Amino acid sequence: MSTSLRLGVAEFRARPGRALLPGVALVVGVACLLAALVLSDALTRSVDEGAPLTPSTVGHVVDVKRQPYDENTVEANRPKLDDALLAKLSAVGRAVPVQQAHADLLDANGRAGEHRAEVEVQQPDLVRWPLAEGKAPAADGEVAVDKMTAYERGLKPGDRIKLAAADGRPIEVTVSGVMKKGGMDSRPILVAGPDLARKLDPQPDTLAVWVIGGSRDAVASAAGASYVVWDPAPDADKVGDDLKFILLPFSVLALATAVFVAAATFRAVYAQRQRQTALLRCIGAQRGPLVRRSLFEAFVTGALAGVGGALLGGPMAWVLARTFDVTGISALFGAVQLSPELLPSLGYVVLGVVVAALLSVMAAVRPAINAARVSPLAALRDAENEVPPRSVRRLRLVFGLLFTGGAAMLALLAVAAKGTAGAPLAVTFSAIAAVTGLFWILGPVTVPFIARLFGKIGGTRWTQWKLAGAEVRRMPQRSASVALPLLLASSMVTFFLVVLGSAQEMTYTFANEERPDATVVDAGERPLPVIPAQDGVAASVVLHKAENGAGVDPDEFKAWMKAQNVAGAEQLVAGTAVVPEHWSDRSFVENDGKQYKVVGTVPGTLTGYTTILGGLTTGTAEKVLVALKPGVDPAKFRAGLQAALPNNPTVIVRTDADERANADRYMHLGTVLMMVLLGLSVAVAVTGIGTALTISVQERRKELALRRALGVTQGGLQGGVIAEAVMLALVGVIGGGVLGFGYAEIAILATGLDLSLPGATVVLPLVIGALAVVVLAVVAAFGPSRGASRIRPAAGLASG
């Protein structure tokens, strides 16, 4: 053991750069892991800090006992948290309902938005929602706003905002404070006192009842058997470590990529010192000490990489947080302007060191064993390339073809079993088998073949490009090991983007179903006023509130259906009904004790899945369906209608374009999130290109010096090294892109759904991502290229 340690220390002293080179990828991998942990901590802390608290004076919480739902139970007989219960509980102690109202927060133009605000009702002496700044609302005209709303609208304590009262009348209130809680996805959350909450919503939802005073048995006895009583938990609404599972899988994937890169680098480093190892074997060194020496070096390299990754984790988490803010992803989590710790805790540093050290040793085991098996006669050879024995190549070809053939069979089975539970599993195992066969086992054949194709494309005009292809083919095993992590990351990015794009096309299909050109409603479901006539309207129909559907004037409805170019209501008259298509088996519907004969069906998306009752127009107007004339801009129609209703700020107009824009937004956020998180693996994979080129430059000092002696400029040498980086990056990106695209198509076919392949919405991000990878590869090649350009001809030719 002491001999192994001395050999390992000697290697670090003699060539510290080469010994530490395999740890470069682990530095980035550990940084990704700790960045995810640190950012998750900041996100969890942000969410938990904003969680509602139960005041310490509250002794008991009363709620309805949850029972299995029974549609035959009359709603009126279900237990409720109502005034009668409060009266019973007030005999025991102070009973305070925990309520949530709903209101419309008006924008700068005085109009309500698509999403209503949740109004948390808070008693002045029972503060439930923690604040980041300002004070809790005390007066009738004060509210606290969530931090996301404050961030998006630029609000601070003391500012004035407008809300819509229950009757739609605007009310101006003062922002007393900003909550620590953030509204999810642009859905505002407000805190208001009971008096203001009643003006906004006379019938708030009661979530529970707090009881201050009295024993638990007395409270349970007063409440009755239909209610449950428990003691409050102050941190019941905290999420704990749940949010770690959102980011952690992607960081683990990046760490796994780092292990691939580190193993490839260890293999190259050990091959580079093959002559030294063979000489040690010549003078009697046993394989065991040589393996232990290599593993000791790997352990030290991993430990140092863990320290570096831990120090880099905090800044990387900060960059991710700012990226989430800029791209709008933060809104999905209800958190913005997160401030992760730039310096991780001691526990995270220890975790980084332990993980990196263990993974480094795991990555070095097989290369170390292979390196120790070198024959002493190898000391007399000067291996210029990697040419495995014929038996090894034959065995590799057999196993590669077996795995590739198995992947093809599984893909065919997945398509044949489309729509079943086994189809996704078949696709998954097929993809694993394809990667294993084509790019792991047959990688030394596949990767040089792709490089040869690239070399033919530009090699006739650019000599450096042709030489780069020759270098990739000279060391096929190393090239395949370097390209594999990037290829895996590229294939996953392509796969998920194509699948997401297909899902987006499916949402477009749904959005393009028969829908009204425009729908006029009240954001708070208030009765609609008389809608003034607008230019560009082909036909419109008013839907009146009914017990089991919506009443319409039959002639208006048929005229509107005709303008929408949709059939199904031609026979609608007073006393009859048309129903959504999924109710086509019904012969009649009942409303308020009267039967309406079903005389037709219409697409559910056209009427909001509502039964249409002909001739019933006595109810309040709850919706207006509008068909626009060809060429009329829906946004212009909305602006004109809202301008004609200045005293009705809560009247909103939903259009087909809104459906598509909403689908676009969520798909865009999903695409950006996927690219950012999977981009961590890509960044780790690109480090493999930098380390491989560093080793390549060290090995070819004599060759590079000869080029300089023959007149190649420093820029020419730099260009050659950069060309190798670009070629390796393109091999990984193009190969992974083709593989990911192919399996995305197979997965889409295996679902059994009628999904189409996406268009430019996915191609453009993929092209941008590919260009970014090439740029990163050029950056990674900067150091090795500079080292190659500084080689002096005399010194390089004199080196052995």
Average the pLDDT over 701-705 and give the result.
Answer: 79
3-class DSSP state of 51: coil
Q: Could you give the CA distance from residue 252 to residue 258 in angstroms, rounded to a whole number? A: 10
How many of the other CB atoms lie within 10 Å of CB of 761? 17
Report the candidate in 327, 423, 213, 184 with the shortest Cα–Cα distance to residue 675: 327
Is residue 399 domain-resident?
A: no
Task: Considering only residues 70 and 108, tell me which one the structure prediction assigns the higher pLDDT.
Answer: 108
Q: Do residues 35 and 78 both lie within one domain?
A: no
Q: Which amino acid is at 443?
A: G
Q: Do residues 781 and 637 both lie within one domain?
A: no
DSSP label at residue 623: E
Q: Do residues 549 and 594 both lie within one domain?
A: yes
Q: Could you give the CA distance from residue 517 to residue 37 in angstroms, rounded to a whole number? A: 47
3-class DSSP state of 159: coil
Q: Do residues 642 and 712 both lie within one domain?
A: no
Q: Which domain holds residue 737?
A: 445-514+657-800
| Total number of domains in the chain | 4
Q: Which amino acid is at 401?
A: L
To which residue do tokens 């006379």 refer?
A: 202
Is residue 395 domain-resident?
A: no
Is residue 421 domain-resident?
A: no
Query: Residue 794 has what pLDDT?
Result: 67
3-class DSSP state of 439: helix
Q: Do residues 345 and 483 both lie within one domain?
A: no
Is residue 431 domain-resident?
A: no
Query: Residue 734 has what pLDDT?
Result: 87
Burial 676-709 (b: 16+ CB within 10 A, else e): ebbbbbbbbbbbbbbbbbbbbbbbbbeebbebbe
Which tokens belong to 267?
A: 């293999």
Contact call for residues 157 and 133 (beta carbons, < 8 A): yes
Judged against a pLDDT cut of 90, whether residue 577 lies above it is answered with yes
Contact call for residues 164 and 81 (beta carbons, < 8 A): no
Average the pLDDT over 276-293 and give the result.
Answer: 74
In tens, the pLDDT along 526-561 reads 999 988 988 899 999 999 999 889 999 999 999 999
- Residue 383's pLDDT band (boundaries 50, 70, 90)? very low
Q: Do residues 455 and 310 both lie within one domain?
A: no
Helices (H), ranges, 105-215? 147-153, 194-200
Interacting residues of 565 by C-beta distance below 8 A, sequence separation 6+: none
For residue 29, count CB atoms less than 10 angstroms from its CB and return exposed for 0-12, middle for 13-18, buried for 19 or more: buried
Report the candidate in 113, 161, 166, 102 with the shortest Cα–Cα distance to residue 137: 161
Report the candidate in 645, 669, 666 with the shortest Cα–Cα distance to residue 112: 645
- Residue 622's pLDDT band (boundaries 50, 70, 90)? very high
Report the candidate in 696, 686, 657, 663 with the shortest Cα–Cα distance to residue 771: 686
Judged against a pLDDT cut of 90, whether residue 80 lies above it is answered with no
Q: Could you give the CA distance from residue 744 to residue 750 in angstroms, rounded to a whole number? A: 10
Judged against a pLDDT cut of 60, whether residue 759 lies above it is answered with no
Contact call for residues 444 and 462 (beta carbons, < 8 A): no
Q: Could you give the CA distance from residue 317 to residue 310 in angstroms, rounded to a whole number? A: 11
Q: Do residues 222 and 77 both lie within one domain?
A: yes
In tens, the pLDDT along 427-445 reads 888 888 888 888 888 888 8
Q: Do residues 343 and 453 both lie within one domain?
A: no
Q: Could you give the CA distance from residue 544 to residue 624 in angstroms, rounded to a whole number? A: 9
3-class DSSP state of 726: helix
Report how far Cα 538 is from the mean position of its chain's Cα atoms.
42
Percent of the chain with pLDDT over 90: 25
Q: Do residues 679 and 571 both lie within one domain?
A: no
In tens, the pLDDT along 774-797 reads 888 888 888 888 888 887 776 656
Q: Do residues 32 and 176 both lie within one domain?
A: no
- For 168-316, where are the E strands, in sequence order? 170-179, 189-192, 205-212, 227-230
Is residue 86 domain-resident?
A: yes
Judged against a pLDDT cut of 50, whether residue 681 lies above it is answered with yes
Query: Residue 236 has what pLDDT?
Result: 55
Q: Do residues 70 and 45 both lie within one domain?
A: no
Is residue 434 domain-resident?
A: no
Q: Could you give the CA distance from residue 109 to residue 170 in angstroms, rounded to a whole number? A: 12
pTM, entire model: 0.75
DSSP label at residue 162: E
Q: Do residues 154 and 300 both lie within one domain?
A: no
Which tokens belong to 125?
A: 């002496």
Domain end residue (candidates: 649, 672, 706): 649
Strand partners, 236: none
- For 30-93, where are the E strands, in sequence order? 60-64
Is residue 519 domain-resident?
A: no
Query: Residue 552 has what pLDDT?
Result: 94
Burial 135-156 (b: 16+ CB within 10 A, else e): ebbeeebbbbbbbbbbbebebe
User: Pairing mode, if any, of strands 612-614 and 549-552?
Assistant: parallel
Domain end residue (candidates: 230, 261, 287): 230
Domain end residue (candidates: 351, 383, 415): 383
Average the pLDDT over 609-631 and give the result.
Answer: 91
Is residue 415 domain-resident?
A: no
pLDDT, mean over the chain: 82
Burial 603-632 (b: 16+ CB within 10 A, else e): bbbbbeebbbbbbbbebebbbbbbbbeeeb
Report the candidate in 338, 321, 328 with the shortest Cα–Cα distance to residue 132: 338
For residue 650, count CB atoms less than 10 angstroms from its CB and return exposed for 0-12, middle for 13-18, buried for 19 or more: buried
- Residue 506's pLDDT band (boundaries 50, 70, 90)? low
Interacting residues of 566 by C-beta distance below 8 A, sequence separation 6+: 514, 602, 603, 606
Q: Could you give the CA distance from residue 329 to residue 575 in angstroms, rounded to a whole number? A: 51
